[in-house]
Amino acid sequence: MQIIRNRVMVNSIPRFGFKYLSDSTFLNEEHLQIQKAALDFAKEKMAPYSAEWDKKHHFPKDVLRELAAMGFSTIYVKQESGGVGLDRLTASVIFEALSYGDVTTTAYLTIQNMCAYMVDQFGNEEQKKTWIPRFGTFDAFASYCLTEPNSGSDSKNMKTFAKKDGNDYVINGSKCFISGGSVSDVYLLMCKTSEKDVSCILVEKGTPGLSFGKLEDKMGWNASPTAMVLFDNVRVPQSNLLGKEGNGFKMAMSALDGGRINIASCSLGGASFAFDLAKDYLHDRKQFGQPLAAFQGLQFKFADMATNLVTSRLIVRQAAQMIDNSHPDKTLYSAMAKRYATDSCFNVANEALQLHGGYGYLSEYQIERIVRDLRVHQILEGTNEIMKVIIARNLLK
Amino acid sequence: MKVLVAVKRVVDSGIKVRVKPDGIDLQGVKMTINPFCEIAVEEAVRLKEKKLIAEIVAVTIGPKQGAESLRHALALGADKAIHVTTEARIDQAVQPLDVANILAKLVERDNYNLVLMGKQSIDDDFNQTGQMLAGLLDWPQATFASNIQITDGIAQVIREIDGGLQTVKFKLPGVITCDLRLNQPRFASVPNIMKAKSKPLETIPLDKLGKLHNSIQITKTEAPAIRKGGAIVENVDVLLQKLRNEAKLF
């Protein structure tokens, strides 16, 4: 019998052995306390609803507000600016634990954190005062606009342009694949302000000329709205510029390492969930008179899944710590961590689906949703191919 | 008004327990705050939010890892913590009467108006400490609380008993032990976890407050018998036959 947080007495067959998130290498007591808080929240407030959110394409703004109340939306924003002031390792632990409950909303939460971080790092006092408290409660939802229909990996080649006009900028162009598109209150727009200069400008929803494409129908990440963001002579005051003109790329680079750790951490949580489901299934399902766990072929597959999951976690946490310590190799390790963890974790989920046989294909068993959600982590925040470019470049310089 | 909340660090309820010849194997096992103690802390925090009490002090008895449960209580909203340190096994050698005596000393030292605790701990399930403490202090008690109201120094408690619900009323100070349906503890938010680090934590070696007498000795610890499968019977006669001959019910 188990007494679990929502007071349901569940008669389940307890198991010995490997407990997904018991690996506490790199973690001190405070990390473990915070991990427990995040995991408890994920199991009670996210996991039971994840399937429904996916099926109904429902964006759970209320749960995101509760996550904000827990302190999870401005994790590495400085305390003086109104954030929680913790480090990237803690953020990784939090996102890993939350994505055990739901990958998609956790991934959106990482975007909010990143936008808040950028305002904190590069914004002036006015901008920090205006936005950070609102980000910290999810009173304002934020989106990050970089990718365009014709510039993904080749982001420097973007065409969206902000032209100076009096005291304003007039912006024209389009961004695509924007998480939170049409729902978010503020858009951190990376655009050209001259032929070579990329700058970051804050554009609020409701500004005339700002419109959105239809909500994209995706393979996964269904609980999070994704749409094109269109700029047709959008006029904003020049005071909406974040940081200095032309510094956009440097700003983006400084946020990228952390963003990669974040998305890798989301993969870890989702894969852990699929892994646990697979473990139970191997014990429960019997064929040819034995539980599946007795077959060596499946044992080998499961052993590889566990090894890949644990090693992914180690490199993600190490890279997070390197960012926290401003280690000179942090970009190299962040790229390695993102590439390795997102690939491994997708494979863990995919193998978990295979271990479930026909049942793995049914949405009722939840595995296929994890596979669908994790697939995009190999693509966004920099494709894994670009990660290899970065890794090689760092090694061969 | 000051409240003392006693918390115990126990084996996590979700894990499978391994039995060794000298008791439960605690090596590397996940430990957490006793669920009923957590409910007691939550209730104290709610009473403080209603401005019925002014200060919450959490106390635990155990080795240095026991401080984790205190920090959890502080993160939920306790103001101060007391750690009574001992290296003895808390699931075996720290027994209800000794605990009650130690808590009684703390009550006399600090003058609390109310002691809240869980109804029992999920490792030994004694369900005695609160009752013994009330006896030692000669205070009224209400156990298995599923609702607590405090007005003008009078506590009104609804108790969950076998026959249903019983409401008792008494003048504070008193001891109340908390049951499952009293409340649902909040999540410790990150800002509160960080604030908890700077709240006062007092450490007292156990022998300054009392002694562990080990008056109860554990002679044997066994795992429960493995559950055997059931069977579907064709009719009532076969059922009665099985109940008499196999289950030996009558």
Rounded CA-CA distance A128/A134 in Å is: 10
A235 with A253, same domain: the answer is no
pLDDT string in tens for chain B (250-residue length): 999 999 999 998 878 788 888 888 888 788 899 999 999 999 999 999 999 999 999 999 999 988 999 999 999 999 999 999 999 988 889 999 999 999 999 999 999 999 999 999 999 999 999 999 999 999 999 999 999 999 999 999 999 999 999 999 999 999 999 999 999 999 999 999 999 999 999 999 999 999 999 999 988 888 888 887 788 889 999 999 888 988 888 8
Write the ipTM.
0.77
Whether A351 is catalytic is no
User: Which among A21, A34, A95 is the top mutation candidate for probing chain B, defined by the most B β-carbons within 10 Å of its own β-carbon?
Assistant: A34
Domain count, chain B: 1
Same domain membership, residue A355 and residue A288: yes
Q: Is residue B74 part of a domain?
A: yes
Distance CA B83, CA B63 (A): 9
Mean pLDDT to the nearest integer, A220-246: 96
Please tell me whether residues A311 and A391 are part of one structural domain.
yes
Backbone angles phi, psi at B114, to 5 degrees: -155, 140
Q: What is the CATH number of the domain that holds A374?
A: 1.20.140.10
User: How many structural domains are present in chain A?
Assistant: 3
Is A66 a domain residue? Answer: yes
Residue A6 maps to a domain = no
Q: For strand B154-161 and strand A186-192, is the pairing parallel, antiparallel, or unpaired?
A: unpaired
> Catalytic residue among A148, A351, A368, A381, which?
A381
Q: How confident is the model at residue A317 (pLDDT cuts 50, 70, 90)?
A: very high
Contacts of A22 in chain B (CB under 8 A): 30
Asked if A34 is an interface residue toward chain B (Cβ–Cβ < 8 A), one would say yes
Q: Quick check: B188 and A71 CB within 8 A?
A: no
Q: Is A7 in the B-facing interface, judged by CB distances under 8 Å?
A: yes
Q: How far is A158 from chain B (nearest CA, A)?
A: 39
Record: contact A70-B187, CB cut-off 8 A: yes
Question: How far apart are the C-alpha atoms of A213 and A225, rounded to whole Å?
Answer: 11
CB contact under 8 A, A14 and B16: yes
User: pTM of the predicted model, to two decimals?
Assistant: 0.87
B24 and chain A: CB distance < 8 Å anywhere? no
* Amino acid type, B148: I
CB atoms within 10 A of CB A114: 20
**Of the candidates A137, A158, A193, which is a domain's last residue?**
A137
| CATH code of residue B228 | 3.40.50.620
Whether A161 and A107 map to the same domain: the answer is no
Q: Quick check: B119 contacting A, CB < 8 Å?
A: no
Backbone angles phi, psi at B226, to 5 degrees: -65, 135
Contacts for A31 with CB less than 8 Å, ≥ 6 apart: A24, A89, A90, A93
**Does a structural domain hold residue B132?**
yes
Task: Give residue-wise pLDDT tens across range A50-104.
Answer: 999 999 999 999 999 999 999 999 999 999 999 999 999 999 999 999 999 999 9
With tokens 């493995």, the residue in question is B226
Q: Classify residue A389: in a domain, yes or no.
A: yes
Minimum-distance CB partner of A84 among B180, B187, B190 = B190
Residue A96 and residue A216 in one domain: no
Which domain covers residue A51, as residue numbers? 29-137
Please tell me which residue of chain B has the smallest CA distance to A68: B189
Q: Is residue B250 part of a domain?
A: no
| DSSP H or E run through B157 | strand B154-161
B189 touches A: beta carbon within 8 Å: yes
To 10 degrees, the CA torsion angle through B105, B109, B115, B120? -30
Q: Do A229 and A337 belong together in one domain?
A: no
Do both A84 and A35 map to the same domain? yes
Q: Assess whether A109 and A126 both reside in one domain.
A: yes
Residue A261 in domain: yes
SS3 content of chain B, % helix, strand, coil (to 5): 30, 30, 40
| Domain containing residue B60 | 2-245
**Of A77, A105, A137, which marks where a domain is finished?**
A137
Assess B188–A contact: CB distance below 8 Å, yes or no.
yes
Residue in B32, B180, B193 nearest the CB of A7: B180
Q: Does A375 share its domain with A253?
A: yes
Q: Which residue of B has its CA nearest to A21?
A: B30
Residues with Cβ within 8 Å of A288's Cβ and at least 6 positions away in sequence, in order, are none
